[in-house]
Structure 1
Amino acid sequence: MNSLLRYTRFGEPETTLELIPQPLDARHESHLRVQMLLSPVNASDLIPITGAYGHRIQPPLVAGYEGVGIVTQAPASFAHLTGTRVLPLRGHGTWQQFVDCPAELAVPVPEDISDALAARAYINPLAATLMLKHFPPEGKRVLVTAAGSECAQLLGQWALKFGAREVIGVYRSATHAKKLAAMGIIPVAQRDHEAIAHYAQNAGVVYEAVGGELADTLLTHLPDSAHFVSYGLLSATPFSMQKRAATLHWFHVRHYLAAMDTATWQAEFKQIWSLLRQTPTGDVTLFPLAQWQAAIAHYRTAGRTRKTMLLFDV
């Protein structure tokens, strides 16, 4: 039997998800079967449940896009992975006890990487490395918005590693200011429009995830040479497309996945493991799968500083 969090219609995750038992399907001969250990709660897990991407996904679906688990069954050519930890990615949803995924796309986890770190090594780290690769920060002033988020903090820290002149982090909750400063990121409150306008005037790259008024302020003050990379809309409010001088880019990880062969995919994670070993990522709060509603409530807590994780029985 399998336990899984699925939704059969779009709506708010708290009321749309349901935890159900279900017999395990037969495993496809080219897939691994992975018994999950941990899976994080991200905005990218919750937003699709609301129907925001209804033009390209349709329920019934199992929620969750990343996590770590132990291989329990494998094709003969991947038998060496049995009993080891992997990231079971790009298969079925990860908020379930057992996940089947294409064997060649499962990412082996190095022994020195903890479960809590491995579980969150896909969504935010891959987005950060791809943005930094395609919109390089070297020698530039960099701005990141939603700076309290894990993705923005990875972007900020790794931009400095990749040669950014300085990184400014625009945060909403004051609880993040001290942590950002300790990372070498200059913290600026989202309500401080004057400071944001000042820093934007000489910015080279903006990695932006909020939209709305904040994005409009940045676009108004950025120089012609700047690159504005929009990768989220946490405010749920669009920004103006008029009267902007900077070059606007829309970033979505899925747009890059189709072009990656298996070797490139696995190589991306070799770089991610190397970067994560050197990067403070913060503590986690664990919730058993049966307490999934409490986990979502914790994720939505304003000023939250700990990563929310679902814990599976093994």
Structure 2
Amino acid sequence: MNRALFYRKFGLPEQVLTLEYADKSSLKENCVRVQILYAPINASDLIPITGAYQHRIILPQIAGYEGVGKVIEAPLSYQHLIGKRVLPLRGEGTWQSLVDSPAEYAIPVPDYIESKIAARAYINPVAAWLMIKQFLPKGKHILVTAAGSDCAKLLCKLAIKFAALSVTVICRSDNHAQYYNKYAIKHIKQDDKQTIEYFARQADIVFDAVGGELAETILAPDSSEFVSYGLLSGAFFQPKKRLPKVHWFHIRYYLNQISQHQWLKMFDDIWPILDVNDLNRVSLFKFNDWQEAIKTYRQPYRNNKPLLTFD
């Protein structure tokens, strides 16, 4: 018996998601069946449910894009994965107790990585890794918004690793100051418009996940390149000048361009940067308490990551 969070129409996730029980159909060819242990809640999980991308979503759908679990069934050529932890990615939605995933894209989890960390190794780490590879930070001044997010933390960490000249982050609160002080990263307040404009003028690359008024403030000076990878403010923005050049980053576009070998190799680079002391701490919620988990995710100035647990 499988438990899954379906949405059969678009709308507010709390209103349109339904927890449904049903027998799992036979395993498809070249797939592995994974018993999920943990699955996180991200903005990228919730936004599609609202209908923001309905032009490319066919209903009904199971929510969730990442998680970790143990393989309980596999085709002959992947029998070595049975009993092992994997990330069941690029297949079914992960907000369910049993996920069928394309075997070739299942990512084995190293023994030294905790399951609660592995569950979060896809959306934010892969996005950060791909952006850093695409927009090389070496010898450049980097400005990053949404400092409280795991993606921002990983962007900063990778920018330093790849020899950025300086890294500055914009934050709404001081909740994450300890992390940025640890890496000697300057942090400035989101309501300090004058200081933001100053650092925007110095920036060679801006990585923005907020959009709205903040994005327009940063875009006013002639910084070199502006990478938009999210709209956490819920508001769009309109570039008013030729510079800085705006790049719209969508993870799915880049993943469509890489081979299976590159896909697997990417995680060899990602695992070493997932330090449990650097990422936001987790708050566990039983799967049946998914509404409370989403409510926690929406709390302002949150510094924890809600994780659905399937025990």
TM range (shorter): over 0.9
Distance 2:184 2:131 in 1: 20
Give the alignment of 1:86-125 within 5 angstroms. Answer: 86-125=86-125
Distance 1:75 1:158 in 2: 37
Give the alignment of 1:78-227 within 5 angstroms. Answer: 78-223=78-223, 226-227=224-225
Amino acid corresponding to residue 124 of structure 2 in structure 1: N
Distance 2:160 2:96 in 1: 37
Distance 2:4 2:281 in 1: 25
The C-alpha deviation readout for 1:61-81, integer Å capped at 9, x for no partner, is 000000000000000000000
Q: Shift of the alpha carbon at 1:147?
A: 1.0
Distance 2:48 2:118 in 1: 23
Residue 11 of structure 2 is aligned to residue 14 of structure 1: no
Root mean square deviation, CA, Å:
1.3
Q: 1:43 to 1:278 in 2, by over 3 A?
A: closer
Amino acid corresponding to residue 252 of structure 2 in structure 1: R
Unaligned regions of 5+ residues in structure 1, if any? none
Name which of 302, 305, 308 aligns with 1:307.
305
More moved, 153-162 vs 40-49 = 153-162
Normalising by structure 2, we get a TM-score of: 0.97
Amino acid corresponding to residue 297 of structure 1 in structure 2: K
Q: Shift of the alpha carbon at 1:277?
A: 4.6
Distance 2:188 2:222 in 1: 16
Q: Tell me the equivalent position of 1:39.
A: 39
Maintained 8 Å contact 1:174/1:303: no
Q: Shift of the alpha carbon at 1:244?
A: 3.9
Aligned length: 311
Maintained 8 Å contact 2:117/2:276: no
Distance 1:173 1:26 in 2: 49
Distance 1:239 1:87 in 2: 34
Q: Shift of the alpha carbon at 1:261?
A: 1.3
- Counting aligned pairs with the same residue, the percent is 50
Residue 241 of structure 2 is aligned to residue 252 of structure 1: no
Q: Tell me the equivalent position of 1:268.
A: 266
Unaligned regions of 5+ residues in structure 2, if any? none
Amino acid corresponding to residue 91 of structure 2 in structure 1: G
Maintained 8 Å contact 1:173/1:302: no
Distance 1:247 1:55 in 2: 27
Maintained 8 Å contact 2:30/2:75: yes
Q: 1:280 to 1:177 in 2, by over 3 A?
A: closer
More moved, 44-53 vs 210-219 = 210-219
Normalising by structure 1, we get a TM-score of: 0.96
Secondary structure at the aligned position of 2:307 is classed as: strand
Q: 1:278 to 1:184 in 2, by over 3 A?
A: farther
Maintained 8 Å contact 1:72/1:82: yes
Q: Shift of the alpha carbon at 1:150?
A: 1.1
Name which of 292, 302, 305 aligns with 1:294.
292
Q: 1:279 to 1:254 in 2, by over 3 A?
A: farther
Q: Shift of the alpha carbon at 1:183?
A: 3.6
Distance 2:257 2:136 in 1: 20
